[in-house]
Structure 1
Amino acid sequence: MIIGGVDEAGRGSIIGPLVVAGVSLQESKISRLKEIGVKDSKLLTAKTRTKMYDEIISIVDQYQIQVIDAGEVDDSVFQKGLNKLEAKAMARIIDQLHAVEVYVDCCDINPDRYRQSILSHLDRKLTVHSLHHADRINTAVSAASILAKVTRDSNVQKIRMRHRGIGSGYPSDEQTMQFLRQFVAKRKCAPAFARKSWKPMQAMLAGLEQKKLLT
């Protein structure tokens, strides 16, 4: 039986894209993924993830990666919500895989609601399992998480080459937030690669507008 796994990287970041990746493979090949050490990407070093990327691609039957830029994330957050964007992206990935049974890492507090959201966007019928922490408990999802993370890291590195000091790209990183504060103060706008729908960025832009009113 061909099974699939789908996961994302960069959901909570304020800089850079949201990346959704999926893999499909014969169930008998799962042991090969385990042999090379595939597990949740967050438990691996960047060097190990990068090394595994090509190994995973050589083992799986198919893989698909979708990069969603900050602007598209913003549009979805302002209109329909991030969960719906992610469910739709996962459905597009699943439709391109030949798996008959797919496991996805669930971002919704309600796994069945998220599963139903994905099913509503699919063009074909198949079994979808929506699980919290699927990247930790399902090897196919773990493999997808590595592809997603390496792809996102590569995209963030391209931004880093043009803009020093962006940090990890997450709002919990003070270096990232300091970079954004300085960028907004100097350019009087948010960078194109930052998510304007995130509350910290909205606060910075609101502060900028307030200063304009006072001058």
Structure 2
Amino acid sequence: MGRKLAGIDEAGRGPVIGPMVIAAVVVDEDGVPKLAELGVRDSKRLTPKRRERLFDEIIKLVDDYKLIELWPDEIDSRGGTLNEFEVENFIKALNSLKVRPDVVYIDAADVKEERFGEAIAGGLDFRAKIVAEHRADDKFLPVSAASILAKVTRDRAIEKLKEKYGEIGSGYPSDPRTRAFLEAYYREHGDFPPIVRRSWKTLGKIEAKLKNGVEKKKGRRSLEDFL
């Protein structure tokens, strides 16, 4: 048996709709080549169907894993920055692992990789070598495996929301389908649905746009008003 290697990553940090999901996995060093044989790689390089197939295979192969879903109300009520919130929940996920890793590979969200890694190391209740790097999901297979678990879990959550709310798109502010859904919902209800992150500027912009449109309509006067 080799060293125990952990990988941790998130999915859904940027969307305005739905959860951010954090996934941590622990795999024996000897199991890493098996991850490669399965075709594990950065989740963004895989199709949704391929990620779904790999999800169960990864869970069978790893020694331990932890998934945390953080919904909009938790994200909105955080005390600090999004990076600090991510550090806090990365620590929570890693400390929840029953199999303690010797090395932890982290996909660093901070512009300063070392600072991100040190912040997480300071909160762990076990000792391990910390490797925090940008694009770690593309460099280290344990992080690639975690990225797949996180992405599939978020995708499943979004599909459940679609069953209730209809077409909501990907949930990202840049997605025209997502913006169309939010605008339509606001027009109908005068507010946004409970599945949104209210601290995101996207909502304020949509609200201002729609209210401005209403004001413009109110401000228009027909020719008959002058007759």
**Same fold (TM > 0.5):** yes
Any conservation in 2 of the 1:70–1:194 contact (CA below 8 Å)? yes
Please give the per-residue CA displacement for 1:2-28, whole angstroms capped at 9, x wherever unaligned.
010000000111111000001001101
| Contact 1:87–1:114 under 8 Å retained in 2 | yes
Deviates more, 1:143-152 or 1:187-196: 187-196
Local SS of the residue matching 2:77: helix
Compute the displacement of 1:121 (Å). 2.2
Distance, in Å, in 2 between the alignment partners of 1:170 and 1:62 is 30
2:31 is matched with which residue? 29
Normalised by the length of structure 2, the TM-score is 0.88
Structure 1 residue aligned with 2:120: 118
Corresponding residue for residue 147 of structure 2:
145
Q: 1:174 to 1:212 in 2, by over 3 A?
A: closer
| CA displacement at 1:123 relative to structure 2 | 2.0
- Candidates 37, 40, 44, aligned match of 1:38: 40
Is 1:134 aligned to residue 102 of structure 2? no
Q: Secondary structure at the match of 1:52?
A: helix
Give identity over the alignment, percent: 38
Deviates more, 1:156-165 or 1:197-206: 197-206
Please say if residues 188 and 208 of structure 1, whose CA atoms lie closer than 8 Å, have aligned partners that are also in contact.
Answer: no
Q: Report how many aligned residue pairs link the two structures.
A: 213
- Give the CA deviation at 1:168: 1.0
Structure 1 unaligned spans of 5+: none
Q: Distance in 2 between matches of 1:122 and 1:175?
A: 40
Select 2:58's aligned residue among 42, 46, 56. 56
Please report the TM-score for the alignment, with normalisation by the length of structure 1: 0.93
Structure 1 residue 203, shift from structure 2 partner: 2.1
8 A Cα contact 2:183 2:210, kept in partner = no
Residues 40 and 142, structure 1, Cα contact 8 Å, conserved in 2? yes
Question: Offset of 1:71 from its aligned partner?
Answer: 1.1
Change (3 A) 1:132 1:15: same
In the other structure, the counterpart of 1:87 is 87
Query: Which residue identity is paired with 1:180?
Result: L
Q: Out of 105, 112, 115, which is 2:107 matched to?
A: 105
Alpha-carbon distance in structure 2 between the residues aligned to 1:187 and 1:163: 13
Write out the 4+ residue segments of structure 1 that deviate beyond 4 Å after TM superposition.
Answer: 206-215
Gaps of at least 5 residues in structure 2 are 219-227
Alpha-carbon distance, 1:211 to partner: 8.6
Indicate the residue corresponding to 1:96 in structure 2: 96
Within a 5 Å distance, the mapping from 1:7-18 to structure 2 comes to: 7-18=9-20
Give the structure with higher Rg (CA).
Answer: 2
Matched-pair contact (CA < 8 Å) for 2:15–2:171: yes
What is the DSSP-based 3-state SS (H/G/I as helix, E as strand, rest coil) of the residue aligned with 1:99? coil
Assess if the C-alpha contact under 8 Å between 1:74 and 1:195 holds in 2. Answer: yes
SS in 2 for 1:90: helix
Q: RMSD of the alignment, in Å?
A: 1.9
SS in 2 for 1:121: coil
Distance 1:208 1:121 in 2: 44
